[in-house]
Amino acid sequence: MEYEDEEIEAARVLFQRQATFVMGAAKIDQLPEPNLPEIAFAGRSNVGKSSLINGLVGMHKLARASNEPGRTREVNFFDLDGQLRLVDLPGYGWAKASKTTVKKFQDLGRDYLRGRVTLKRVYLLIDSRHGLKSVDTEALDALDLAAVSYQIVLTKADKLKKGEGEAVREKTLKAIAKRPAAFPDVALTSAEKGDGMPELRAEIMRTTGTAP
């Protein structure tokens, strides 16, 4: 996707606005009022969802990130200065937790994704070193079936060698080409180094119809 310099700059300003934690919901009836455009971050446990949210807003500790898979256990809502809401979902494919715990959070994530009227897009994160795995394909199938618009974001690009990033991006683009709810572009990002973040901010600004 191409973005004008003005759009990149506007998005940078938008994401400099104050970001705050609203609440964590452990049950579907605990969600905040659907009164702002929302974007949600989904993906395997440890893929970098919480880190990506922190990178987008330029804060290290807004969303809790850690190397311990299953860190995010609720649906966490962050408000960007009354303009839009960023939603951090519990990860899937998290092997160490008990079956009931996994099911509880997967059901919660699924219910949220299916029923949220203000949800503008889901950012489905994939580790750029691993590419799409079968659990990811299942998640894409579910989003396609529910007709929830989503974009693939490849994470941890700083861990790749030169040229590998572009290759995995091309491969992923091909894999999603025929998926009905997939946005026809794949972002390559590093929350750690900041790669791809200005463009992702610009895309989020477009998608949500927000302005600085």
Ligand X SMILES: Nc1nc2c(ncn2[C@@H]2O[C@H](COP(=O)(O)OP(=O)(O)OP(=O)(O)O)[C@@H](O)[C@H]2O)c(=O)[nH]1
Q: Give contact residues for ligand X (rule: CB under 6 A).
A: 43, 45-51, 65-67, 69-72, 90-91, 155-156, 158-159, 190-192
Task: Please state the closest distance from residue 180 (CB atom) to ligand X, in A.
Answer: 26
Q: Give the closest residue to 151 by CA, choosing from 109, 196, 192.
A: 196
Does 50 interact with Mg ion (rule: CB under 5 A)?
A: yes
Residue at shortest CB range from Mg ion: 72
Those residues with Cβ within 8 angstroms of residue 128's Cβ, 6 or more apart along the chain or in another chain: 154, 155, 156, 157, 159, 160, 164, 165, 168, 188
Task: Please state the closest distance from residue 84 (CB atom) to ligand X, in A.
Answer: 19
Span of 49-57, 76-84, 118-126, 180-188 interacting with Mg ion by CB under 5 A: 49-57
CB 75 within 8 A of CB 90: yes
Classify residue 64 as exposed, middle or buried by CB count within 10 Å of its CB (0-12, 13-18, 19+).
Answer: middle
* Residue 109 touches which of ligand X, Mg ion, none (Cβ within 5-8 Å per kind): none
Those residues with Cβ within 8 angstroms of residue 72's Cβ, 6 or more apart along the chain or in another chain: 49, 50, 63, 64, 88, 89, 90, 91
Residue at shortest CB range from ligand X: 91
Of 60-89, binders to Mg ion (CB under 5 A) are 71-72
Nearer to ligand X by Cβ, of 38 and 195: the residue is: 195
Task: Please state the closest distance from residue 63 (CB atom) to ligand X, in A.
Answer: 7
Binding site for Mg ion (CB under 5 A): 49-50, 71-72
